[in-house]
Each structure stands twice: as structure tokens, then as C-alpha cells.
Structure 1
Amino acid sequence: MRDAYVVGAGQTDFGSFPDESYRSLFATAVDRTLASADGLCRGDVDEAVVGTLGVGGRQLGLSGPAVTEFAGLSVPTTRVENACAASGYAVRNAVQAVKSGMADVVLAGGYEVMTDASDDATKYWLGVSGETEWERLTGTTFAGTYAQMARAYLDEYDDATVDDLSRAAVKNHANASENPHAQLRFECSLDDATDAATVADPLTLYHCCPTTDGAAAVLVVSEDVAEDHSTLDAARVAGVGAASDRVGLFERDTYTAIPASERAAESAYEMADRGPDDVDFAEVHDCFAIAELLAYEDLGFCERGDAPALLRDGVTERDGRLPVNVSGGLKAKGHPIGATGAGQVAELWKQLTGRAGDRQLDGPEVGLAHNVGGSGGAAVVTILEGDADREGKR
């Protein structure tokens, strides 16, 4: 089976954009992606895979072809809906198409507009992407679900504290302050995060990601295309893994792990012939602060119960041994549901090709993206490697 490469990526700013539509946001992401892929144009794209939840009723109709046609791509388009993991799965589908030989150039991306609906409407559309009958219709929100996970974690591991949740938030806000695309580009202190208003005990406002508008895309190509265009900056898709699980938290055996993340990571590591110790940096799904701590453990970065120590010791800081969420993560970069997974892979590509600007890490070679749907009903993990044998144009 042939190799697949990411050779371009782009995203909009993440935030609130009342003058934009989901079509115009996605078109901007496509423009930026193609501009970053020197030598390739719209006419080279064979097909597109796009992810979105469809907040505000955009689940209805053919929103996939609607965005690609508006962006000037008259190609077969598949829409993927896997809650917050939608465009992570879109990237996986693109990789499958390229590796199988069905296509040579595939655009994968995602989009979401979340700020043009009322709070009640937004909560409804977010809610029905989770376990509807036994969780959402009984009044449980996603914040409430992750709060149950956080409380279970704090109870199971005596050394863990609310301040550890806050440390993840403080780190990601500091990282977002260096990211021009981030929604919350301001720093916060440990006291700011811990003492903020409670959203769902023990989670405070600073432990929760914002609602966000935005779009992101990446260009996945075959080995032949990458070789034929020597000016492209290419990162090899070393591994990609996906897994599903019970949608309802109450249906699972544990509240202090996301088994789908663990299984997706195992598959990605096996495909890449690598392990957690080989990862130089990661973008993980921190929709709530507890989710970042669980990700450290699910992805094998540490043993169960040791995630707080990674934060306290600075291991996952931008200058630490394993930087996590250098983009600011969902917590501070923003979380436009359908765009998040593609945005994570875009960050990997930028870091591996030296395009990350003020937040650029020092010579990373292996990056991992971790994208979760709902409270863990779906997960996808993507591993990219910098291509040391090819000289790209930066």
C-alpha cells in the first residue's frame, strides 16, 4: 500500500464571525490550504471529504457539496458526521482514499458556525451528538458529562486536584497567546482558572472550551504526487487509527479513561511502527480540562493517575519534553466542532514544516493529533512524520 503525505494546510481564525457563513469560512480555509501547497491547484484535487456537526440545523441538506462548490471545487464530496471527531475522520477517509489508489489528491477539512444561534439552540444541537435518550433528555450537558469524569478522576487518584485541571488551562491559554488564529488569545493565572465561576462542579469556566466559528483543511496526496512536486513541504502520514465505543458515559466500564482513544492510539502506533516515546509533540482533544489529562494517559504518555505530574513538572509545556496543544488546544484556540480535527492535523503539518511562526517548536520530527467525538463514543489518532529525505520550500 502506497504512502500518503500532507502537503498543505490552512484554517480561518477561530472565533465569532457574524458576517461569515459556513460556506465562506470553508472557502477561506481552502484558499489558504492551496496557497500553502506550492505547485498544486484546484484542478489537481480529485475529491473532498468534509466534516461538520451542523450546529443550528445545518445537519439538513447537502452541506458538503454546498461548501466545496462555493470554494470552487467541483469534485465528488463526502460529508462525515462523527460529532467533534468529524474532520479527524475526514482526514482518515482522505488518507484511505490515497493509500488505496482511489485518488491522488484529496482535500479533507471541516467547518462549523456555532455563534449565530441562541444558547438553547446551540445546546440542543450539541446535545443530540451525545447519548440523547438517557443523558441529554434527562438534562445532562456535555459539561455535566465531563464533570462526572473529572469528579471520578479526582476521587480515584488522591494526589489529583482541581489545580491540576487549571494547570492545563493556564498552559493552553499561554500557548494561544502566540497563535494568531486562536479565539482566546490571552493568558490566565492558576487562581483565575481555579476560582472562576463553576460551570459543572468541579469544572470552572476556564476548564471549558468556548463555542466557536471556523474552518480548517489539509491536502493529502500520494507518494507520486509528492515526488513530482519537489517544492512541496511534505509530512508523511505514518499512522492513523480510529475506534468507537458506547456513546453514553453511563454505559462504559470506566469514567477515568476513554477506551476509544486508547484503541485508536494503539492502531496508529502499530501502523506507524512507533510508540508514545517517539512522539515529539501532540495536539489533543481538550474540550474540557479533564479531557487533556485523560488523553495523556489514553495515548500512553504516562501511566494511569500520573497525568497531573506531567503538568506539574512542565513536561507538556511548549519548552518541555513533550509539548501538548502548542496551538492553544480546543480550550483556547477554540472548538468549531467540525473543524477541530482538521485544525489539529494542520497544526502538526505547520510544526513539522517550520511554518508555525512564533509558536514554532525546535525541529520536531513526529507529531500526533487526537480527536474525540462526544464524550468518547468515537476517536481518531493521526501521526505525521517530517520527511527528512525531501527538501521543501518554506
Structure 2
Amino acid sequence: MRDVYVVGAAQSKFGTFPNESYRSLFGSAFESAVESIDGDFDRTEVDEAFIGTLGVGGRQLGLSGPAVTEYVGLDGTPCTRVENACAASGVALRQALTSIRAGVSDIAVAGGVEIMTDMSSEQTRYWLGVSGETEWERMAGTTFAGVYAQMASAHMDEYGTTREHLSRVAAKNHGNGAKNPHAHLGFDCSLEDAMEASTIADPLNLYDCCPTSDGASVAILASREVAEELTNSPVRLTGSGQASGTVGLFQRPTITGIPATEDAAEQAYEEAGVSPEDIDFAEVHDCFSIAELMAYEDLGFCEKGEAGPYIASGATEPDGERPVNLSGGLKSKGHPIGATGTGQCAEVFKQLRGEAGDRQVDGLERGLSHNVGGSGGAVAVHIYEEGWA
């Protein structure tokens, strides 16, 4: 099995862009990814591309994958559109990795794109809703926020997680996102403001919920032989895991965690030959504040039920023992559904290369990205290391 490296990665700005199309947003991310490559890159040598998108807005086409790759000069390159709800481009990243490991490709592109802000609030709620269980949960009137609110309530009841613990996620991630020029909500948020925001779905309030965003992201992967020609600052993908879970909460043995995260993480750790203690920092899927707290536990960063005290200790702050969501996460950076997974990859790539600007944390050698579809029906986890194998 061949070693695979991320040789370039970037994202467009995330936000509301009425004058942009899904082609132009993808083009912005792709060109920035190419610019991040150290050596001479010939886009005609890309062997395959995998593009994650749910296709919720922007008049996107059934052939949205080939449409965006054609736009950036990859016409003729085999392209597969990947749809796995919010985990779409995390799974696209895994497909590109697998293609190179298998010897099918030497260079593969993974990316994602979504336009979400050209729809009414009713349409947005519908499309977010279909990322979950549609026959029972949605027909009963449960919103996406409502599903995570049930998970938050259960976690609070079972483990004593508090309103302050939830709000610490928002305050931390907004603090990080305020340093990210690509963030949708790039402003600071105090703990007090986060705690006192208006209720969306009890116990979740406005600052517990990520925004709906437009945006795109791209990661360019290469085999070791090719990577040696393209980069002086290698970032190796050492572990990859993917798992599916039951789509509806009512089908699960627990709703205080996401079993598919545990399964995907176990695969990734085993493949990389590491344990949770070896992870220096992580980008996790914080579509709602409770999702980040559950991720701490499901990824093994702390024991079950200890996520609240863990964030309160400062462990996940930029100067903590394991910074989480230095990009601002979905909460601050934004959540254009199809672009989130490879957007996480782009942040890990920048941090490991020391190129994250004002939010850079020094001394990081190993990172993790965690991308969830729906409320846990699909999960992709990847582990990255700085340097050659």
C-alpha cells in the first residue's frame, strides 16, 4: 500500500456570496490549492477527482462534479460526485486516498462545494432535514437542530453537562474564527453572550448552531514518488476510517455519542499506528456545540461523560494540550455542507506546514479531521503527520 501525501490544500471564503456560482467558488479553492504547492504542478496530470456536494442550492447540476472540474481545466479527468450529507467531502478525501494507495492514480483531487444561502429558510430546513431520518423524525416535525437538541438533553441528563460547557464551545471557536480570514462568522463571542442567546431548540440556542454557508474546498493528493517533486513540506495521510451508523436517533443504543465516530476513529488510529493521546490537534465536526463535546469522547480525547470538564479545563484552547477547531470550526468558519470535510483537511495542512497565520500553533506534528454526515449516519476520520515517512 503506497504512502499518500497532501501536496496542496485550500478553501474559498465561506459565507454568503450572491454573485458567486458553485463553479467560481470551486475555482477559487482549486487555484488557491495549486498556489500552495511548492513545485511545478501540471493539472493535466491529475488522474482522478472526487467532489463532495449535497446539491442543495445554486442551481447545481446533476453533473456538478464534472462541471466544477471542467471549470478549472480538468475536463477529461475522471470525476465522481460523492454525496454523504455533511460528510460528503470527507468521504471524497478517503476515495482519493484509496485511489492512490491502490495504484489507480498518482495524483488525485478531493474537494467539495455548496451554495446554501440562495434558498428560503423553509427550503434550507428541508435540505438540512433530509440529511437525517426522513420517514419518522422529519415527518414528526423534528428539525436538524431538534435532533441535536435531543442529544444535548440526554448528555446533560446523563453526565451533568451544563449550559456553560456548551457555550464554551462557541466562545472558543469564535475566538479562533476571528483570526481566520476565510470564516463566515469571523467575530469574537464572549462566554456570556453565548450563554444568553435566544433559544433555537431547547437546550440549544443561537450560538450553539453553525450557520448555513456558501463555499468550496480542495485537497490535492499525490503518491510519494510524485510528492517528492511537488513539495518541500510534506503532509502525509497516515490513517483513514469511515463508518456508517443508523440514520435515525431512535434506532441507536445511545444518543449521548455517535457510534460511527468511534468506529471510524478506531480504523484510522489502527491504520496510523497511533492512539488518541498521540493527536496534537484536531478539526472536529461541530455543527452544534454538543457535537463537539461528543466528539471529544467518541474520538478518545477524554472519557465518556467528561467532555464538559475537559473543555472547561482549557485543554482544547489554542494554548491547551490538544487544540480543537483552530479554524473556528463549523460554528464560526461556516458549514457549506459539501465543502466541510476537505475544508478541515485544508486547516490541518496549513497548521502542519506552519502557514495558518495569526491562528498558527507551533510544534504541531500530528493532526486529525472528523467529518460527520447528518446526526451520525456517516463519518470519516483522517490522521495526518508532518514530514516524510
TM over 0.5: same fold? yes
Which residue in the other structure is 1:40 paired with? 41
CA contact (8 A) 1:94 1:108 kept: yes
The answer to whether residue 193 in structure 2 is matched with residue 192 in structure 1 is yes
> How high is the TM-score relative to the length of structure 1?
0.96
Which residue in the other structure is 1:392 paired with? none
CA contact (8 A) 1:57 1:125 kept: no
Write the distance in 1 (CA, Å) between the matches of 2:59 and 2:278: 40
- Offset at residue 58 of structure 1 (A): 5.3
Match of 1:105 among 93, 104, 107: 107
Write the distance in 2 (CA, Å) between the matches of 1:278 and 1:120: 43
The answer to whether residue 318 in structure 2 is matched with residue 318 in structure 1 is yes
CA contact (8 A) 1:37 1:233 kept: no
- Does the C-alpha gap of structure 1 residues 328 and 310 become closer, same or farther in structure 2, counting only changes over 3 Å? same
The answer to whether residue 95 in structure 2 is matched with residue 93 in structure 1 is yes
Letter in 2 for 1:110: G
- Offset at residue 152 of structure 1 (A): 0.3
> How high is the TM-score relative to the length of structure 2?
0.98
**Partner SS state of residue 35, structure 2:** helix
Which stretches in structure 2 are left out of the alignment for 5+ residues?
none
- Offset at residue 72 of structure 1 (A): 1.4
CA contact (8 A) 1:368 1:382 kept: yes
Letter in 2 for 1:201: D
The answer to whether residue 9 in structure 2 is matched with residue 9 in structure 1 is yes
- Does the C-alpha gap of structure 1 residues 58 and 234 become closer, same or farther in structure 2, counting only changes over 3 Å? farther
Which residue in the other structure is 2:70 paired with? 69
CA contact (8 A) 2:234 2:388 kept: no
**Partner SS state of residue 211, structure 1:** coil
Which residue in the other structure is 2:327 paired with? 327
CA contact (8 A) 2:237 2:382 kept: yes
CA contact (8 A) 1:182 1:332 kept: yes
Write the distance in 2 (CA, Å) between the matches of 1:81 and 1:376: 14
CA contact (8 A) 1:175 1:325 kept: yes
Write the distance in 2 (CA, Å) between the matches of 1:314 and 1:125: 35
Which residue in the other structure is 1:205 paired with? 206
CA contact (8 A) 2:22 2:58 kept: no
The answer to whether residue 131 in structure 2 is matched with residue 120 in structure 1 is no
- Offset at residue 56 of structure 1 (A): 2.8
Which residue in the other structure is 1:173 paired with? 174
Letter in 2 for 1:170: A
Equivalent residues, number: 387
- Does the C-alpha gap of structure 1 residues 141 and 57 become closer, same or farther in structure 2, counting only changes over 3 Å? farther
How far does the alpha carbon of each residue in 1:352-384 deviate from its partner, in whole angstroms, 9 at most, with x for none?
Answer: 111111111112000000000000000010000
Map residues 134-153 of structure 1 onto 2, 5 A cutoff: 134-153=136-155
**Partner SS state of residue 380, structure 2:** strand
How far does the alpha carbon of each residue in 1:173-199 deviate from its partner, in whole angstroms, 9 at most, with x for none?
Answer: 000011110111111111211110000
- Does the C-alpha gap of structure 1 residues 124 and 60 become closer, same or farther in structure 2, counting only changes over 3 Å? farther
Letter in 2 for 1:86: A
How far does the alpha carbon of each residue in 1:57-90 deviate from its partner, in whole angstroms, 9 at most, with x for none?
Answer: 8575211111111121121100000000000000
Write the distance in 2 (CA, Å) between the matches of 1:175 and 1:68: 31
Percent of aligned positions with the same letter in both sequences?
A: 63
Write the distance in 2 (CA, Å) between the matches of 1:57 and 1:175: 29
